Chains A and B, each alone.
Chain A
Amino acid sequence: MAETAGSIAGEKVLALPGAAAGGLLLLSLVGRVQGNEVLLASTLGAAAVLLLWLGWQWIGFQRSGEYPGVRILLRPQHYVQALVQSSVFLYWGYYWSPVYDHFWLLGAQLLFAYGFDMLLAWSRKREYLFGFGPFPIIFSINLFLWFRDDWFYLQYLMLAAGFMGKEYVRWMRDGRNVHIFNPSAFALGLFSLALIVTGTTQLTWGQEIASTLTLAPNIYTFLFLAGLVVMYFFSITLVAGMAAISLFVMSALYFALTGVPYFIDSEIPAAVFLGLHLLVTDPSTSPRTPLGKALFGVLYGLGVFGLYTLLGALGAPTFYDKLLCVPLLNLCVIAIDRAVKSIPSESWALMWKRGWNPARANVAHMALWIAVFAGASFAGKTDSRHTGDSVPFWEQACAESLPNACGRLLQLQATYCGDNSAWACNELGAHYREGRITDADAELSLGFFSRACELKSMAACRNLLRTDAMYRPPPGDLDLRLLLREGGLNLMEMPPADLYRRACEHDWQFACEEGSS
């Protein structure tokens, strides 16, 4: 695809970062920003940093009499990727409103990113390539992690770290000085590590972001279709496809061996599926040969699979799995390229039609990927109802002592308790009082019973009053509306008869009996 080029030179280019800072100041007048003191101060602070840095550079340019340059370069890998990412925000945000509330802050981050990137380039005595470059970086970061309003200055620092990593953390690859890390993955990886080590994930929206993608119906199909666009234009099929295939295969193997799903309620968590299309696929920080790309994808799949267990075992939120392994893989790129150098992977990739060019081969790879995804969808492994969606499945699996089943049951019920399901909180209280599927913990048990009681569960209130009996009724209507929600369906207004039918389909035996009576 053609790239449009032009250039700006002379003192007037200094107006560009000035405009970015001005834009931030204007955005600070918006109600969304004004609504929180820290957010307002963060945005004003970001603008002040840009203005101070610009002033510093202006003095230098005045002294030397030489002004920086700006070349306009509209690269399709930037704007196509940005368009695809925007479509994800729009679709997801339609079903989860905090995304739309975040749009003003996305704008603020973009302004900061442009100003920061420009000043950074000039501080390195380079001309700045003005295009859509910051868009995919900002969007990519925000598709996985953003800080809460009270901590939003850390979001600006995260962006700064991403751009600085791109600028300063470099190596020689194939005779060229290039950045090592995917800028967004570098920032996400570093900050994820900091959040894990300090136990401060709650300062971000990370957990909610990872779990709310599935509120959008048919999200896997949506991401698959969006991913096809990126695959077609930028030949990332081998990376994304192999990552997805390896995850599908490992999930299937795990299920075959243990009888329970590896990821609780999906073959590949939706956020991981998003990550393997839009985070790991930066062509400049991934291998160049077809076999290298395929290996890169497989390693990403393995990395996510392994980190999911490792993080869980460490008691850290598991959603970081997709973020932490990208920088590690970026570091392995040269080794991967070297390892596959001796193998004629170019010809392997084109083995069915020698003489095809890489673009045509990419289309062939896409066709294979489409077939794999279609197969997985027909087998109910994507948007369909998943075995692990059902709490009774995990109760049964736990009763049968299947691997990890009791831990997953507790995890699932803790999620529902966090969503204000009184039934789930009461069940957790019962588990910690009984000490059968987990260690008994009287304090924890009372805490869960108290929470359930405050949510009006009479059973839980009775459990608080009496330690010689245990009250564990089945979920109430409101609980079912929380336990059975999926794919953007509003169960809050579902008639009780339909609700019980749905509960019966999810193996709630009492609901089947209720429905038939």
Chain B
Amino acid sequence: MSTAPAEGGAPASGSRRTGFMLLTLIVAFVFFWLYRNAPAPESGTGAAPTTGLEGFRDDAWLLPDEAMLGFVEVPAGAFVMGSNPLQDPMAYENERWSAARRQGNPELPAYYIGRYEVTMAQFNVFAAQSGGRAAPRDGAPAYPVTGVTWPEALAYGRWLEEQMRTSPATPRAIREALDSGWRVTLPSEAQWEKAARGVDGRIFPWGSDPGASNANFGGGSPREVTAGACPQCSYGLADMGGNVWEMTNSPLQSYPIDPAAEPALDADALFVMRGGSWADTANNVRAAVRGAVDPGVRNPGIGFRLVISPP
């Protein structure tokens, strides 16, 4: 056995220098490797946004290529809200306005609502500039964005509002509305229902016959938002029934709606969603149907559209 004793000696020689250098290299590598893998500052995802999408404007956050960037005005006035089972046998109990009345007639000021559901591409423009507030979604650019939480949908609205306030691409009417305090946000439940059924109390956005449209429901899968063009629908809005459920900013409460009522703060948050999805049957794509969504949920069947609404 020719090796030195384990202890007490003074191991010297070049091997110590080599070992020390090796140790230094390991430490330097660890510093370098950790530095390289340190989380990047939150300045967006760096992903290149979609461009050249037909029917959408590259210079206006990929909103629809229309004079009002896809926003449609809904005039002020009253409308019929809720369901009358005598006219609509598919009505659910929670669509009844009150013990005394089957339907209500709330009055709303004018507002703008998106003709289409918000698309993947539009949301991803926001995600890329959001500083990490929202992750980009995978999917075809012109499909409705899904799998976003309720606060992320609101954040998209806030971001778009900031952009529109200062951009020359913003139509004058919208700029003036924003200047006078209007907000880009999710629609209230009443705004959504009025936009869906107009003022004639129809059952479906396209009328009262479930089959009389090219709406996307009854199975299958989601589709591009522009595929749902519906001239006969109220205000010409697309996919108000089917394609994906749409979130609103209204907490789920029993009718009748009281805009001044504050929801209970000690109950779990739950928000109304409307419109049904591609996976639903006809009864769930009616204009008066009320679904509910947990604000933290990401669901492939739930998306949203925006309104520009007075304060």
**Chain A interface residues toward B at CB < 8 A:** 9, 66-69, 71, 73, 120-129, 154, 157, 160-161, 164-165, 167-169, 172, 176-177, 190-191, 194-195, 197-200, 202-203, 443, 446-447, 449-450, 453-462, 464-465, 471, 473, 476
Contact = CB atoms under 8 A, between A and B. Distances in A.
A249 B1 CA distance: 55
Interface string B273-306: 0000000000000000000001110000000000
27 contacts: A66-B1, A69-B3, A120-B19, A125-B4, A126-B3, A126-B9, A127-B1, A157-B30, A164-B19, A194-B34, A198-B31, A198-B37, A200-B34, A443-B131, A453-B151, A453-B269, A454-B151, A454-B296, A455-B296, A456-B295, A458-B265, A458-B268, A461-B271, A461-B295, A462-B263, A465-B154, A473-B266
Interface string B38-64: 110000000000000000000000000
Contacts of B3: 66, 68-69, 122, 125-127
A66 B2 contact: yes
Given A128-B6, A464-B151, A456 B19 contact: no
Interface in B1-40: 1-11, 15-16, 19-20, 22-23, 26-27, 29-31, 33-35, 37-39
What's the dominant secondary structure at chain A's contact region? Answer: helix
A127 B4 CA distance: 6
Nearest to A172: B10
A202 B295 contact: no
A127 B38 CA distance: 41
B273 to A, nearest CB: 14
A195 B34 contact: yes
A167 B19 contact: yes
Given A127-B6, A168-B23, A200 B38 contact: yes
Contacts of B11: 124-126, 177
A165 B263 contact: no
A169 B23 contact: yes
Contact of A471 (B31, B152, B265, B271): B265
For the complex of A and B, list the 9 residue pairs with the smallest distance between their C-beta atoms, beginning with the closest.
A454-B296, A450-B151, A198-B34, A177-B10, A456-B268, A458-B269, A168-B19, A164-B23, A66-B2
A483 to B, nearest CB: 16
B31 A197 contact: yes
A191 B26 CA distance: 11
Given A129-B6, A455-B296, A123 B15 contact: yes
B6 A450 contact: no
Given A129-B7, A157-B26, 13 more contacts: A66-B3, A71-B6, A120-B19, A127-B3, A154-B34, A177-B11, A200-B39, A202-B39, A450-B152, A455-B296, A461-B150, A461-B251, A462-B265
A197 B36 CA distance: 12
B193 to A, nearest CB: 19
B249 interface: yes
B260 interface: no
A453 B150 contact: yes
Contacts of A9: 1
A168 B16 contact: yes
A289 to B, nearest CB: 21
B16 A199 contact: no
A289 B263 CA distance: 70
Interface in B228-284: 249, 251, 262-271
B155 interface: yes
Contact of A164 (B22, B185, B249): B22
Contacts of B10: 172, 177
B133 interface: yes
A197 B262 CA distance: 48
B149 interface: yes
A161 B1 contact: no
Contacts of A461: 150-151, 251, 269, 271, 295
A153 to B, nearest CB: 9
Contacts of B152: 450
Nearest to A124: B11
Contacts of B158: 446
B127 to A, nearest CB: 14
